[in-house]
Amino acid sequence: MAEKDKTPKKPDNPKIDDLYMNTEDGSTEAMTTNQGLKINDDQNSLLAGERGPTLMEDFHFREKMTHFDHERIPERIVHARGAGAHGYFESYGDLSQYTKAGFLSEKGKRTPVFTRFSTVAGFKGSSDLARDVRGFAVKFYTEEGNYDLVGNNMPVFFIQDAMKFPDLIHAVKPEQHNEIPQAASAHDTFWDFISLMPESMHMIMWAMSDRALPRSYSMMEGFGVHTFRFVNERNESFFVKFHWKPLAGTHSVTWDEAQKISGQDPDFHRRDLWNAIENGNYPEWELGVQIVPEEDEHKFDFDLLDATKIIPEELVPVKLIGKMVLDTNPTNFFAETEQIAFHPGHLVPGIDFTNDPLLQGRLFSYTDTQLSRLGGPNFNEIPINRPISPMHNNQRGGLMRQTINKGQTSYHPNNLGGGCPFQAKMSDGGFVSHHEKIDGHKIRKRSSSFMDHFSQAKLFFESQTKIEQEHIISALRFELGKVESEDIRERMVGMLTYIDGDLAKEVAEGLGINPITKPKEPLNHSFPADADLKDYQPTKVSRSVEKSPALSLMARPGKGIKGRMIAVLATDGVDADSLGHYKSALKKEGAEAKIISSHAGSIADSNGDAIKVDHSLLTTSSVLFDAVFVPGGSKSIKTLHKNPDAIRFVDEAYKHFKVITINGDAEKLWDMTYASKNANPKGVLFDQDASAFIEAVSKHRVWERDDATRIPV
């Protein structure tokens, strides 16, 4: 039999088909940016008023000038460790009431995408399972140019102003004197910084929660973080927040599992994404938006421009507007996943910025970073970064220039080139920045509306289930327990008192801090030298939402078990009927059943048929699986029940709250475990049909298993 072709299938995708060819003439064409966005005005910079200063957000000016400045090509500073895939986005309907963006203009319209997931703090060689924020960046190859939705798996951030971003990253990266620790926030410099930044407290709650330990990329939410704008054909503006909702539900691993997975398989998330796509279990997310009319900008008890705040879904529900499916793995990791260049300033008509100071700073830093990382101003010509819409402008030269431009002219206006490329009219898709009125002094000062640092941190913590709250407490104990400076630990615990007294007390107890010193003035240290410090004192607000169940991971269990990994403990003599029934049922549901045996190679079932072994007990661990099935067969169980690794495998799965099914003679193996000493073990199914097992696995964990943590593995 011929070997199966392992080349990833290439669906009908205009981006993939056009990845490796681009020539440009420019005659009779409208002027565009390097992302294919048609330009309406190539003569004037974007100003704050007719006689005002040039604005940092003028992405067209910066792209044009930066290219000129660099006409004579490293690992990403952040988000270095990542994985990505091709796919498509399909719109659920016409959103032209809110935005003129073409890819959201009609039901069923498909747009090619490339999505990259990443950790933030670690280097390229770090583990996928670090406790960290995850990047969630999507490049839409639209007919109007590339649009990048560059976000994270958490909807808020540590800081409010981009000026502090280098400080944040310097603090969380390995310490300067010894380059330790790698891909971890559990060290002095990070918590020294955080303990002096009350604005970070909301994000800290997210980062210490189970959100920082996703089970897989396909089981984590994504967020645009900032408030953006939708603009429709009538030039009406709406504020918008973006959400990616995974159809597989939101699930995590435990901290104990994360540490063990980092040793067993540091490529755990990469491998999961790759295998899911290769096996046809395509990851899916729905895109949702929270839309706020411009006139409602100030109706909330928080500032929409503050990146440390969310809009609770109880105030503005999330409207689902489309679905993203990732169905094709990269052909070459470096050429595609590593060289893809995202930028929140890659826009299409109908989507625009707000004055969020963190977003405004990102509009500069991304281009600046790509110049260093990808060697020069022509990174847009790398195949993975090319738009599917044609590019026409007057940019020439520079390192690694690919396009061979015809003609005599490379400037505008011109007569020799027939005035081409010409400026596009709005009616022809030319981009025009939203005409927002700005009236104020040039000043370096935070808005007083940004000074509430604790109410949403408190909202997040109080909206978690009891189990999730316990995990946050344990995470803070672990992280701060690694901090050597007693002053930093005490200061940080003092800050927690402003979020929740019991939270602070529990963390302090784990650190041996008694009494707790509550700071009288938890001053935000982001102030200029001559500031009036009362302007930087955090304020208190009365929350309009007391609890938000949507903030709990457990609020979105998802449906089914597609993409789940099921460990099947078996060896020679395994019951053929039971094994066959379960494997068939699991495959039908999109889950993968892996045979784990005492040895590699193959085993023979009770009918004498050979079955391929996927892993031996020596080369795998229960932490790499979502559930465990132990089929019967007296010979198989007799062998396994003499193997300490098999017993440990079951006990460890029980400790991590996973569903376990024991069939037939396998009860003899169960009787050898520590977990079996419990009179009524929760989530352990005996002689159940595959449908009962599948239903239990779809709930992900058996959190009601109170005795799990006492299992000594």
pLDDT digits (tens, 9 = 90+) for 645-675: 999 999 999 999 999 999 999 999 999 999 9
List the alpha helices (DSSP H) in 148-304.
Answer: 165-172, 188-195, 201-207, 255-264, 268-278
The CA angle 430-431-433, to the nearest 5 degrees, is: 145
- pLDDT, mean of residues 697-707: 92
What is d(CA 37, CA 31) in angstroms, rounded to the nearest whole number?
Answer: 8
User: Which structure tokens are listed for 471?
Assistant: 């995990």
What is d(CA 170, CA 428) in angstroms, rounded to the nearest whole number?
Answer: 45
- CA–chain centroid gap for 496, Å, is 26
CATH topology of domain 76-370: Catalase HpII,  Chain A, domain 1 (2.40.180)
- Check pLDDT > 80 for residue 61: no
User: Where residue 23 falls among pLDDT bands split at 50, 70, 90?
Assistant: very low
- Tell me the C-alpha to C-alpha distance, in Å, between residue 164 and each of 141, 319, 531: 32, 33, 17
pLDDT of 583 reads 96
Highest mean pLDDT, choosing among 228-242, 410-424, 695-709: 228-242
Q: Tell me the three-class secondary structure of 333-389, residue by residue.
A: CHHHHHCCCCCCCCCCCCEECCCCHHHHHHHHHHHHHHHHHCCCCCHHHCHHHCCCC
Residues facing residue 175 across a β-bridge: none
The CB-side HSE value for 423 (13 A sphere, CA atoms) comes to: 14
- pTM over 0.85? The answer is yes
Contacting residues for 667 by C-beta, under 8 A, at least 6 apart: 686
Q: For helices 59-69 and 357-373, what crossing angle results, to 10°?
A: 20
What confidence tens digit (pLDDT) does each residue in 608-636 have? 999 999 999 999 999 999 999 999 999 99
Q: 424 near 31, Cβ under 8 Å? A: yes
Residues written for the chain: 713
Among all chains, which residue has been given the structure tokens 């027939």? Answer: 418
Among all chains, which residue has been given the structure tokens 């991304």? Answer: 366
524-533, 565-574, 578-587: the lowest-pLDDT one: 524-533
pLDDT of 65 reads 64
Domain residue limits, the chain: 31-73+374-435, 76-370, 448-554, 561-710
Q: How many CB atoms lie within 10 A of CB 286?
A: 16
pLDDT of 375 reads 84
Q: 430 near 392, Cβ under 8 Å? A: no
User: Which structure tokens are listed for 661?
Assistant: 């099914």
Burial (0-12, 13-18, 19+ Cβ within 10 Å), 25 = middle
Q: Is 79 a catalytic residue?
A: yes
Contacting residues for 419 by C-beta, under 8 A, at least 6 apart: 412, 413
Q: Report which residue type is found at 641.
A: H
Q: How many CB atoms lie within 10 A of CB 349?
A: 24
3-state helix, strand, coil in the chain (%, to 5): 30, 15, 55
- Three-state DSSP at 136 gives strand
Percent of the chain with pLDDT over 90: 71
Q: 700 near 658, Cβ under 8 Å? A: no
Round the average pLDDT of the chain to a whole number and report it: 91
pLDDT of 371 reads 86
Instruction: Choose the catalytic residue: 13, 152, 378, 393.
Output: 152
Report, at the CATH architecture level, how domain 448-554 is classified: Up-down Bundle (1.20)
Q: Is 525 a catalytic residue?
A: no
Percent of the chain with pLDDT over 70: 93
pLDDT of 123 reads 93
What is d(CA 164, CA 172) in angstroms, rounded to the nearest whole number?
Answer: 13
Instruction: Choose the catalytic residue: 79, 187, 226, 343.
Output: 79
Q: Radius of gyration over alpha carbons of the chain, in Å?
A: 27
* CATH numeric code, 561-710: 3.40.50.880
Phi, psi (degrees; rounded to nearest 5) at 81: -95, 110
Contacting residues for 25 by C-beta, under 8 A, at least 6 apart: 406, 407
What is d(CA 104, CA 107) in angstroms, rounded to the nearest whole number?
Answer: 8
